Amino acid sequence: DLCDNLMTCGSIWFQEPFYHKHYRRFVRELVRPTVDVLEWDAESGEGHLTALLRSMMINVAGYHGMLSVIVEASSRFDCYLQDSESLDPNLRAAVYNIVVANDGKRRYDQMLDLYRLATMSEEKNRCLRALGSARDVYLLRHALEFGFSSEVRSQDMMFVMAGVANNPLGRDIAWQFLQENWQEFKDRYHGGAISLFSRMIGMVTSDFAHEEKAREIEEFFLSHDASGAERTIRQSLERVRWNAHFLAYSREVVGQWLD
């Protein structure tokens, strides 16, 4: 719950000066003691909750720029490319996200290769979601286009959309992609797949934090039929407006406190 809220607040504050100047360091120092205690390798007989906690802490630390975690993730990923048994399955999602976010196109291309070689759906979906961690707008756009290619099953496009839309750098890109390809989305996800389409609409629209964006989303759906997703759209608009209210309320006091 703490990690979810730290990530949510950071997503809302992403464009504020204090986010990059202070907030990322605040989160790093908050999770550092737990990362240091858990380390990277599981101990004999440890419970599954400890394994989940380790993965979560490493992911949050890497996302917020903890250099020691980024370096270790890169090293372990290199070993994993040579030996597929060398990386704990519980850590794969975190490591994938960290290396794609921090090592640019080389890691992005390696993730595409892993996706193409994977035989298990779970592994393929981890790879697809990790593509959205890139910090290059070209790569994020490519990830969405790849999700629409014949190499990705229609039902798995949601993992690409989730990865890109959850990345603050990718929010606008995912929203623009949805609008530009609206008819193709409609053609792909109709009938029994409408619930999947509704979930993707929610992923793409709900994390903005400005009233202007809420109005933009509202106006788009007034002129584009989204039958079956009406409730999701209402919830997204409510969340965007709550985010905007929270941003306006918190930005000054939080910025001063962090400073």
Q: What is the 3-state secondary structure (H, E, C) of 103-129?
A: CHHHHHHHHHHHHHHCCCHHHHHHHHH
Percent of the chain with pLDDT over 70: 100
Would you put residue 165 in left (φ > 0), alpha (ψ -120 to 50) or beta? alpha
Averaged pLDDT, 38-67: 94
Query: How confident is the model at residue 233, as a pLDDT?
Result: 97
- Alpha-carbon distance of 146 to 138, in angstroms, equals 12
Average confidence score pLDDT of the chain = 95
Q: Is the pLDDT reported for residue 209 higher than 90?
A: yes
The CA radius of gyration of the chain, in Å to the nearest whole number, is 19
Q: Is pLDDT of 185 > 90? A: yes
**Contact call for residues 62 and 94 (beta carbons, < 8 A):** yes
Q: Above 90 in pLDDT, residue 181?
A: yes
pLDDT of residue 193 exceeding 90, the answer is: no
User: How many Cβ atoms from other residues are within 10 Å of residue 233's Cβ?
Assistant: 19
Give the C-alpha separation, 221 to 226, whole Å: 7
- pLDDT at position 44, please? 87
Over residues 80-98, mean pLDDT: 95
Instruction: Tell the burial category of 48 from Cβ atoms under 10 Å away from its Cβ (0-12, 13-18, 19+).
Output: exposed
pLDDT value of position 1: 93
Query: pTM of the prediction?
Result: 0.94
Q: pLDDT-based confidence at 142, cuts 50/70/90?
A: very high
| pLDDT score of 169 more than 90 | yes
Mean of the pLDDT values across residues 187-207? 92
Task: Report pLDDT for 40.
Answer: 96
Distance CA 251, CA 15 (A): 10
Please spell the DSSP secondary structure of 155-224, one letter per residue.
GGHHHHHHHHHHSTTTHHHHHHHHHHTHHHHHHHS-GGGHHHHHHHHHHHHTT---HHHHHHHHHHHHHS
pLDDT band at 225 (very low <50, low <70, confident <90, very high): very high
